[in-house]
Amino acid sequence: MARKSPLGVFINCPFDGRYQKFLDAIVFTVFRCGFDARCALEIDDGGGTRIDKIMSLIEACPFGIHDICRTDLDSVSKLPRFNMPLELGIFLGARRYGNADQRRKQCLILDKNNFRYQKFISDISGQDIHSHNNRVESLIYEVRDFLRNNGSHISGGNKIYKEYLRFEREKRAICRTLDLRPDELTYKDLTHVTTSWLVTQS
């Protein structure tokens, strides 16, 4: 069972290089809004079944951000990745069949265009799906608006976006000081760099 995480936001998104800047932006916005960003990348695959660990993580987090934008075929296998719809399904299932805590779960479902999801995952029609139009700025606005409803006073999306841009610039310098390339940061490294940077901004 993962650590119980009342401020936990489960992030379900692609983990490829093309999505990295979006993942950075989600992690930044989640911590900036006072929540705790959790995702499958923090799982150490040393032992146990991966799906069990992901389910524990989902169980521990009352909030979820699911980006189902990656539907392209893999360049090598020519097959799509199904992990994101699967984890979204587990999250929705927990909300439907779980105990009182699980039923209070809230999630934000994102795609890159409006109504595109109806062509590949039409069963979630009726849910409120938001689009980020493949833009980091829109993504930050969406995440911030979602978390604002569940938190106390949070600054506007524009301010958070500007802070994110400054963070991205300074992150490179921080990595250089640590003798790391930004793409070498693991998920845990990223969360620590993000929170350390945020608390020095006050």
Residue 192's identity, in one-letter code, is: H
Which residue's structure tokens are 């489960």? Answer: 10
Do residues 171 and 150 touch, judged by C-beta distance below 8 A?
no
DSSP string, the chain: -PPP-TTEEEEE---SGGGHHHHHHHHHHHHHTT-EEEEGGG--TTSS-HHHHHHHHHHH-SEEEEE----SPPTTT-----HHHHHHHHHHHHHHHS-HHHHT-EEEEEESSTTGGGGT-GGGBTB-EEE-TT-HHHHHHHHHHHHHTTSS----HHHHHHHHHHHHHHHHHHHHHTT--GGG--HHHHHHHHHHHHHT--
Interaction of residue 154 with other proteins, rule CB under 8 A: yes
Please identify, among the stretches 73-81, 90-98, 121-129, 173-181, the one whose residues bind other proteins according to the rule CB under 8 A.
173-181
- Residues 65-124 close enough to bind other proteins by CB under 8 A: none
By CB under 8 A, tell whether 191 contacts other proteins.
yes
Q: Which residue, 109 or 160, is less far from other proteins as judged by CB?
A: 160
| CB 64, min distance to other proteins, A | 16
In this complex, which beta carbon is closest to other proteins, that of residue 51 or of residue 178? Answer: 178
Applying CB under 8 A, does 165 fall inside the site for other proteins? no
Site for other proteins in 19-48 (CB under 8 A): 31-38, 42
Distance CA 85, CA 92 (A): 10
* Residue 166 sits in the site that holds other proteins (CB under 8 A): no
Minimal distance, residue 167 CB to other proteins, in Å: 11
Task: Identify which of residues 55 and 121 has a Cβ nearer to other proteins in the complex.
Answer: 55
We find the least distance from the C-beta atom of residue 67 to other proteins, in angstroms, to be: 20
Q: How far is the CB of 118 from other proteins (least distance, A)?
A: 36
Q: Which stretch binds other proteins (CB under 8 A): 45-53, 89-97, 115-123, 152-160?
A: 152-160
Distance CA 202, CA 188 (A): 23
Told to check if 196 binds other proteins by CB under 8 A, we report yes
Residues near other proteins (CB under 8 A) are 3-7, 31-38, 42, 151-155, 170, 173-174, 177-178, 180, 184-186, 188-189, 191-202
